[in-house]
């Protein structure tokens, strides 16, 4: 049978199930990654399994999110992560080394390998031909323990690229174009596999920009072939031995084909407050820009920042605009310095920030009140920048540089800089010595914990009969930022579930936590695509701590649905979407889940006797996990 790239990798790692879209499959995982905002909880979960050493080929713990050390919490978490890594055979990347996805691409990602990470942008490694997926921290912890990673076999879309980019169009504009075409839920249940002659025109960093932001489509992952471009990149990184050619078979089947003529792509921008609200930059001509932020795991490579420097050579940014620069890694920073590009950007008025996520997650660098910020990031959800009324536009590094130069959006037809195609530097310095590799003998390593690191609370099984108040009624496209906000103050509480749970839905409804406390247990009602965005499992774990037992929605985002299951929350959809209009906040819904089984319809009964049909697509294993109170309970029950 002729196979595409995705099928080839899945077939080589399949431990259970059938490769039929919609069927559950279990995959062997070769590599894992965590970052500090999700990793601390993942390693607390790992410790709860009482195992001695990770069983993956490679696992890396990166510190790139909570790098602002305001008080003891973040540095204590970093100390804990370093000691856990040394104890259990995990590579540790200290704060300031760089952003996990950029670092993994440079140092560890391998074509044909499977990778899951406790960050939704883990598919960045698909730019090098790795089957890389975002997951909840508990799923990552279980993969480190040698457990299979289970998911629904996705459909596979062929994104066929024709031609080549022209003028000021860039890789960021390709993925923005696709978001405008498909929407933030257009990739749910699918892998975006790139093919066609246009692929050969894109370097690995450009490909990684596209696979990174494929997460905003809701896709399971995105992947490019491993070809000569891949070999050249790996050779530059000193890893040519990791190269493996990987292509789809000629005539391989795809569930859908989308053709993009790269020569027609123009500079684009996603308007506030959703990545799929895409318009040509030309339509924003004249809009004043208060801040420009260049970086994040989407656009912080040498190739990206090289083009920024070309635009800013001999120039000075507008007086009304602030320019922030976050290189993706110390390797990128050193390459910029070696070529003189860092001086160019600084001389133009740019501000150099740490090699970290920074402003992308509201960790410093927030815009002014109602300020317009043009960012090369992947998300522009309301309030994510740290400024609740900030107006964030997602753009390419080229567009961002012109915004900084002009102090406003301008029509690309007026841009008058000659740019060379994004390229790799002649040489790349290795920074592998900055990683802490685990010792062979870990017997003397002690796990170091600070007072903010609180052990996991054990969750009770799901009762057979539920009588739940509707604690909150929400609309479509509710993100994990709505459920569990990011930002410096709240993210510092990620290792303390009782403390962080006090912030659930606070940017949507300040009274939610009080209602949840009073009710003791309850239900969340939502519209389409509930839980899109970050993989942060705290958006499931904290509501579960507050007593949320069921979420009823019109549809769910993939990773968040998995996180709900992992923590024993029952995700149900409305059999009739119009029933959403019948339910209101404060209503009580009684649900008998004793006979919950695959493909069953449940019936919720309102206080007035009206019945609501509720459906699900849960597997027998997922139902068993929910019934015992979550995945950790289920794993422990298997070990007895």
pLDDT in tens, 321-365: 999 999 999 999 999 999 999 999 999 999 999 999 999 988 889
Dist. CA 544–CA 549, nearest whole Å: 7
Under the banding of pLDDT at 50, 70 and 90, the label for residue 72 is confident
The last residue of a domain, from among 207, 237, 264: 264
Same domain flag for 244 and 367: no
The phi and psi torsions of 149 (rounded to 5 degrees) equal -95, 120
Total domains present in the chain: 3
Catalytic residue among 239, 379, 482, 494: 379
Catalytic residue among 30, 119, 481, 587: 119
DSSP alpha helix (H) spans, 473-528: 480-483, 488-491, 497-500, 512-519
The last residue of a domain, from among 394, 412, 430: 412
Q: How many helices (H) and strands (E) does the chain have?
A: 20, 26
Same domain flag for 233 and 296: no
Same domain flag for 477 and 362: no
Does 351 qualify as catalytic in the annotation?
no
Does 160 qualify as catalytic in the annotation?
no
> For residue 271, is it within any domain?
no
The domain that contains 80 carries what CATH number?
Answer: 3.30.499.10
pLDDT in tens, 480-502: 999 998 877 788 788 889 999 99
Same domain flag for 288 and 242: no
Does 64 qualify as catalytic in the annotation?
yes
Distance of CA 306 to the CA centre of its chain: 25
- pLDDT at residue 640 tops 70: no
The last residue of a domain, from among 230, 264, 298: 264
Q: Please give the pLDDT value at position 469.
A: 97
> For residue 270, is it within any domain?
no
Catalytic residue among 30, 59, 65, 481: 65
pTM to 2 decimal places: 0.90
Dist. CA 300–CA 287, nearest whole Å: 25
**Who contacts 525 (Cβ-Cβ below 8 Å, separation ≥6)?**
470, 472, 473, 474, 551, 552, 553, 580, 583, 585
Domain that holds residue 355: 280-412
Does 177 qualify as catalytic in the annotation?
no
> For residue 423, is it within any domain?
no
* Cis ω for the linkage preceding 273 (within 30 of 0): yes
Same domain flag for 387 and 523: no
Catalytic residue among 13, 30, 36, 64: 64
> For residue 604, is it within any domain?
yes
Same domain flag for 188 and 310: no
> For residue 269, is it within any domain?
no
Catalytic residue among 536, 538, 544, 616: 536
Does 502 qualify as catalytic in the annotation?
no
> For residue 441, is it within any domain?
no
Q: Specify the residue for token string 């247990």.
A: 521
Burial of 576 (0-12, 13-18, 19+ CB in 10 A): exposed
Dist. CA 610–CA 431, nearest whole Å: 64
The pair of structure tokens assigned to 202 is 């894109």
Q: Specify the residue for token string 């012109």.
A: 402
pLDDT in tens, 283-313: 999 999 999 999 999 999 999 999 999 999 9
Does 534 qualify as catalytic in the annotation?
yes
Measured between alpha carbons, how far is residue 577 from residues 117, 187, 253, 322 in Å? Answer: 33, 21, 33, 46
pLDDT in tens, 521-576: 999 999 999 999 887 889 999 999 999 999 999 999 988 999 999 999 999 999 99
Same domain flag for 257 and 366: no
> For residue 439, is it within any domain?
no
pLDDT in tens, 607-625: 999 999 999 999 999 999 9
Same domain flag for 395 and 520: no
Same domain flag for 284 and 332: yes
């Amino acid at each position: 049978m002729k196979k595409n790239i995705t099928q080839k990798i899945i077939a080589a790692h399949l431990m259970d199930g059938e490769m039929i879209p919609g069927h559950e499959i279990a995959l062997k995982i070769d590599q894992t990654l965590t970052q500090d905002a999700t990793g601390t909880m993942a390693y607390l979960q790992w410790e709860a399994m009482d195992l001695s050493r990770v069983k993956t080929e490679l696992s890396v713990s990166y510190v790139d999110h909570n790098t602002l050390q305001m008080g003891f919490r973040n540095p204590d978490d970093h100390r804990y992560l370093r000691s856990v890594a040394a104890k259990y055979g995990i590579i540790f990347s200290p704060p300031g080394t760089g952003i996990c996805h950029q670092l993994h691409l440079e140092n560890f990602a391998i074509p044909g390998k499977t990778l899951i990470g406790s960050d939704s942008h883990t598919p960045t490694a698909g730019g090098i031909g790795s089957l890389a997926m975002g997951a909840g921290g508990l799923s990552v912890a279980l993969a480190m323990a040698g457990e299979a990673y289970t998911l629904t076999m996705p459909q596979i879309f062929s994104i066929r690229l024709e031609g080549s980019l022209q003028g000021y169009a860039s890789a960021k504009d390709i993925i923005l174009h696709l978001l405008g075409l498909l929407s933030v839920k257009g990739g749910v249940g699918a892998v975006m596999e790139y093919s066609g002659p246009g692929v050969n025109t894109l370097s690995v960093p450009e490909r990684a920009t596209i696979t990174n932001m494929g997460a905003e489509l809701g896709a399971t992952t995105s992947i490019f072939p491993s070809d000569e471009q891949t070999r050249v990149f790996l050779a530059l990184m000193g890893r040519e031995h990791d190269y493996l050619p990987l292509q789809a078979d000629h005539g391989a089947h795809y569930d859908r084909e989308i053709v993009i003529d790269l020569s027609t792509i123009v500079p684009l921008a996603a308007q506030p407050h959703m990545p799929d609200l895409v318009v040509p930059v030309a339509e924003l001509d004249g809009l004043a820009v208060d801040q420009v932020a260049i970086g994040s795991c989407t656009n912080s490579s040498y190739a990206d920042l090289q083009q920024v420097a070309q635009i800013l050579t001999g120039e000075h940014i507008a007086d009304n605009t602030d320019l922030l620069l976050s290189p993706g890694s110390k390797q990128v920073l050193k390459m910029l310095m070696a070529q003189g590009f860092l001086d160019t950007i600084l001389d133009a008025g740019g501000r150099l920030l740490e090699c970290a996520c920074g402003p992308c997650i509201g960790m410093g660098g927030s815009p002014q009140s109602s300020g317009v910020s043009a960012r090369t990031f992947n998300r522009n959800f309301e309030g994510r920048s740290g400024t609740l009324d900030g107006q964030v536009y997602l753009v390419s590094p080229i567009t961002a540089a012109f915004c900084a130069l002009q102090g406003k959006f301008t029509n690309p037809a007026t841009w008058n800089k000659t740019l060379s195609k994004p390229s790799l530097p002649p040489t790349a310095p290795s920074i592998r010595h900055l990683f802490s590799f685990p010792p062979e003998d870990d017997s003397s390593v002690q796990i170091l914990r600070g007072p903010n690191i609180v052990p996991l609370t054990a969750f009770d099984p799901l009762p057979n009969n539920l009588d739940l108040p509707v604690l909150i009624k929400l609309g479509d496209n509710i993100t994990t930022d709505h459920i569990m906000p990011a930002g410096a103050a709240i993210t510092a509480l990620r290792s303390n579930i009782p403390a962080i749970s006090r912030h659930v839905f606070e940017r949507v409804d300040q009274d939610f936590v009080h209602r949840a406390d009073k009710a003791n247990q309850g239900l969340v009602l939502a519209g389409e695509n509930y839980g899109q965005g970050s993989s942060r499992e705290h958006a499931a774990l904290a509501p579960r701590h507050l007593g949320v037992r069921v979420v009823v929605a019109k549809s769910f985002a993939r990773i968040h649905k998995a996180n709900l299951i992992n923590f024993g929350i029952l995700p149900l959809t409305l059999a009739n979407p119009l029933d959403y209009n019948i339910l209101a906040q404060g209503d009580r819904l009684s649900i008998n889940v004793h006979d919950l089984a695959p493909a069953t319809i449940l019936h919720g009964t309102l206080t007035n006797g009206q019945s609501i049909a509720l459906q699900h697509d849960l597997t027998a294993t997922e139902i068993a996990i929910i019934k015992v109170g979550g995945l950790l309970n289920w794993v422990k029950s298997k070990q007895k």
